[in-house]
Amino acid sequence: MAPSMQNKIFQGVIFGISGLISFAFVVVLCKWCHMYHARRRRAQQNSGKDYQTYQVTQPIPGKFSDKQLYGSGQCVQPGIGGDVELARELRDGTLDFEYTLEPNVPLGKVQLSILYEIEVRKLNVLLLQAKGVVCQTQRNSANLYAKVLLTKDTEGTKLTSDRCTKIQRMIPEPQFHEEFSFCVNEREIGYATIQVCLYEIDAFSKSHALGQVCIDMKDVDITQRMTGWFDLYEEEEEKRPTSGDLLLSLNYFPTAGRLTVVIMRARDLKIEHKTGAWGVFVKVVFLYNHKRVSKKKTVVVRKTENPIYNEAFVFKVPKEAMAYSSFKILVVNRTSYGRDEALGDITIGPQEYKDGLLHWNKMLMELRKPVAMWHPIIMN
């Protein structure tokens, strides 16, 4: 083959490859421009309102059954929609405070009568009554019962099985008058501890610890009957594993039916996968009757275990729907290989327990004021 013919073929191949590369570049550029303009159009359409509305098809139980609940999950810039005060407090950092319960505060009292029968080696614990018991959920649908058991004061292991009283309606001064007997020899009675725990059962048959009494038998004169009142303190439950803490703020305006959730910051996050461009974001899920209504998430903060967000999410919730509303806050690590790693979650609402219920009730007590609180991120 002549050299001139080879040169023409080579030039044709080069031109063909160049044309394919140019065509692919033009296609990618057009696709990018289309996505860019579509994103700008959506932003312009949503710029005139401070939240998007989602309608719940389920009617609200009770006398409000003919009304509808509206919620939103659109992230808004502080200052839009009348939240000028929120914008100023976010800017000045005045929202950054921690609300906690005072430790070692009695939660009520119980009256007990204790007698040890040396002849038959039997310990009798008579639970008479309680007073000053505070209901943690809805009093009109709550029940109450008590649990009595013996443990070793040095190890905390159970010496006997749990004994429970009859279930009764929740009242501030419940009457029990039930006696429990435990077979304990004289050698073990000096190391035994009597535990009396009060529990509340909500409308969903979920038990909530109201408090407990611990009595060391080494401090009790077993030769005679002892009767007295004992303070209830918070029960020391088994701690669930956590992956850090999250600071968030709640603010409710009842007249406008607007509830604002501000995701502020996280600290001491326990992240396993730290390869590549990993980052953490927070997802806020609005629930009504334990069903998801809307969700929204923050931006991804890259490569830090103490991310700062300061993003506000507005939800429109009428006053009559507050008893059926709750939030689930998820903390997620976005890894470089495309898989999201759930670090844990937080639940807040009137049907929740401990920190979630405490923050919700504090928000309802401080209407129109932001209430911030640190929450442990519970690992799944």
Q: What ranges do the domains of the chain cover?
A: 104-231, 242-378
The stretch 347-359 carries a mean pLDDT of 82
The stretch 289-295 carries a mean pLDDT of 89
The stretch 346-358 carries a mean pLDDT of 82
Question: How far is it, in rounded angstroms, from Cα 130 to Cα 168?
Answer: 13
Residue 112 has pLDDT above 60, yes or no: yes
- pLDDT confidence tier of residue 58, bands split at 50, 70 and 90: very low
Question: How far is it, in rounded angstroms, from Cα 293 to Cα 287?
Answer: 6
Please name the residue that has the structure tokens 């019962």. 145
Confidence (pLDDT) at 151: 87
Least confident span in 112-126, 152-166, 244-258: 152-166
CB atoms closer than 10 angstroms to residue 322? 19
Residue 97 has pLDDT above 70, yes or no: no
- pLDDT confidence tier of residue 348, bands split at 50, 70 and 90: very high
The 3-state DSSP composition of the chain as helix, strand, coil percent (nearest 5) reads 25, 40, 35
Confidence (pLDDT) at 2: 61
Structurally, at CATH architecture level, domain 242-378 sits in Sandwich (2.60)
Residue 69 has pLDDT above 50, yes or no: no
Q: Kindly report, residue by residue over 304-335, the tens digit of the pLDDT.
A: 999 999 999 999 999 889 988 999 999 999 88
The stretch 233-254 carries a mean pLDDT of 82
Least confident span in 60-64, 89-93, 219-223: 60-64
- pLDDT confidence tier of residue 101, bands split at 50, 70 and 90: very low
Q: Which residue would you say has higher pLDDT here, 134 or 366? A: 366
The stretch 281-285 carries a mean pLDDT of 95
Residue 4 has pLDDT above 80, yes or no: no
Question: How far is it, in rounded angstroms, from Cα 62 to Cα 365?
Answer: 24
Phi and psi of 6, rounded to 5°?
A: -65, -40
Q: CB under 8 Å, gap of 24 or more: what pairs does 13-17 form?
A: none
Q: Kindly report, residue by residue over 180-208, the tens digit of the pLDDT.
A: 999 888 888 888 899 999 988 876 666 77
Question: How far is it, in rounded angstroms, from Cα 216 to Cα 28?
Answer: 76
Identical fold at 104-231 and 242-378?
yes
In the chain, pLDDT over 70 holds for what percent of residues? 75
* CATH superfamily, region 104-231: C2 domain (2.60.40.150)
Region of 269 please: left (phi>0), alpha (psi -120 to 50) or beta: beta
- pLDDT confidence tier of residue 351, bands split at 50, 70 and 90: confident
